[in-house]
Amino acid sequence: MKILHVIETLGTGGAERMLCTLASGQVRSGDDVTVAVLRPPLDLACELEASGVGVVVLPRHHKWSLLYGAGRIAALAAQSGAEVVHAHLYFAAIQVGLGRMLRWIPALSVVTFHNLAYRTGANRRGARLCLRQMLARLIYRFGIDQYIAVSHAVARHYSRRLGLSGIHVVHNAVDLGVFSGPDRVAPSDASTRCPNLLLPGRLVHEKGHADLLDAILLLRNRGRCLNVVLAGGGPLRAVLERRIDEAGLRDSVRITGSIAHAELVTEMARADIVVVPSRFEGFGLTALEALALARPVVASRAGGLPEVVEHERSGLLFEPGDASGLADAIERLLDNPALAEKLGRVGRDRVVLCFEAERAVERVRAIYRAGGSLR
């Protein structure tokens, strides 16, 4: 099968990482796969090309030049003989849907919804967001043949906000080979040192870094010694660094800045506990990756995270924004290493059973085969 994926960028976000896993798995299954990118950054391009995926950067244009973008995608689809054009993220999906609606793209059109785009707080409210929502409601309904969501939470969100029906759920997946090997071992006994906590994620409000810092202060007041790593970069770095200094946490909290995925996986493997305190979250790929490494996870009940982390079985959950609940969950694992080890082991087994990449590839292939005429 000839597949053309279209995405806005190849940065290091969850949607881009999921696309790499899916496209690489499709190549291993014998498909001819190309990824078209609307604009830089192109951080993951080399990784895709190394796995046999072709990468094409489309001619640069303003993101609202929708007809031009749709025409460029249609031309590439025709040139590559694509049977499926699979869009990811807003402007890629709008341009693919527009090209399909105008019958410039004869191939099957598919979109994957990765986030809770219209949730309060996810984007700034106003006329521009309303315009985006109205346009999406129209073009997705008449220009997209198949809808996929990365979680049931995301599927419900798009059903309610855009009035879409027939949304398939295909959870994000991981390539287990990336999370196996001699360098992916559990950290040494934390009873002889300060335990290592890791929060992997961009430094943005919705990832809940402030809640973790509040929890760390509570734990320090309870006499806990902790080493904390905030693994990622983003616009809130200066704000978080100032807060760390004001709280006197400079000796125990480190911000890595933007790092390559391989380095992030290494940081996860060193962690005694991985914390995902998101205020809202479409899926929670970093939580899944931590489970793949058999790390115990403490996560909020935001969005799709409870679909990844089962409370009391593969991790511990707390209410979003509840720093005290987060501190209690962390302390519970610190006081019970056997529970932490069990949660990590069960989490790894759950990833093997439910979230392995080849399963996702086959599920997406079945959706492609189901096809569907232009609405």
pLDDT value of residue 119: 80
pLDDT value of residue 121: 64
> Does residue 240 sit within a domain?
yes
Range of the domain at 280: 177-354
> Does residue 168 sit within a domain?
yes
Residue 373 has pLDDT above 50, yes or no: no
77 neighbors 4 (Cβ within 8 angstroms): yes
Query: Looking at the structure, do residues 206 and 233 belong to the same domain, yes or no?
Result: yes
Please state the domain count of the chain.
2
| DSSP character at residue 119 | S
Query: Looking at the structure, do residues 72 and 82 belong to the same domain, yes or no?
Result: yes
Strand pairing of 253-255 and 273-276? Answer: unpaired
Look up the pTM and report it: 0.93
Q: 113 phi and psi, to 5 degrees?
A: -90, 125
Residue 165 exposed, middle or buried by CB count within 10 Å (0-12, 13-18, 19+):
exposed
pLDDT value of residue 127: 80
Determine if the peptide bond prior to 187 is cis (ω within 30°): no
Residue 299 has pLDDT above 90, yes or no: yes
Query: Looking at the structure, do residues 326 and 361 belong to the same domain, yes or no?
Result: no
Residue 181 has pLDDT above 80, yes or no: no
Query: Looking at the structure, do residues 138 and 187 belong to the same domain, yes or no?
Result: no
318 membership: H or E segment, kind and range: strand 315-318
> Does residue 375 sit within a domain?
no
Query: Looking at the structure, do residues 56 and 152 belong to the same domain, yes or no?
Result: yes
Query: Looking at the structure, do residues 198 and 320 belong to the same domain, yes or no?
Result: yes
Q: What is the pLDDT of residues 198-211, one digit of tens each?
A: 999 999 999 999 99
Query: Which pLDDT band, with edges at 50, 70 and 90, does 126 fall under?
Result: confident
Query: Looking at the structure, do residues 297 and 318 belong to the same domain, yes or no?
Result: yes
Mean pLDDT of the chain: 94
Determine if the peptide bond prior to 41 is cis (ω within 30°): yes
Query: Looking at the structure, do residues 85 and 135 belong to the same domain, yes or no?
Result: yes
Query: Which pLDDT band, with edges at 50, 70 and 90, does 183 fall under?
Result: low
Q: What is the pLDDT of residues 239-281, one digit of tens each?
A: 999 999 999 999 999 999 999 999 999 999 999 999 999 999 9
Cβ-based neighbour number of residue 258 at 10 Å: 16
pLDDT value of residue 375: 41
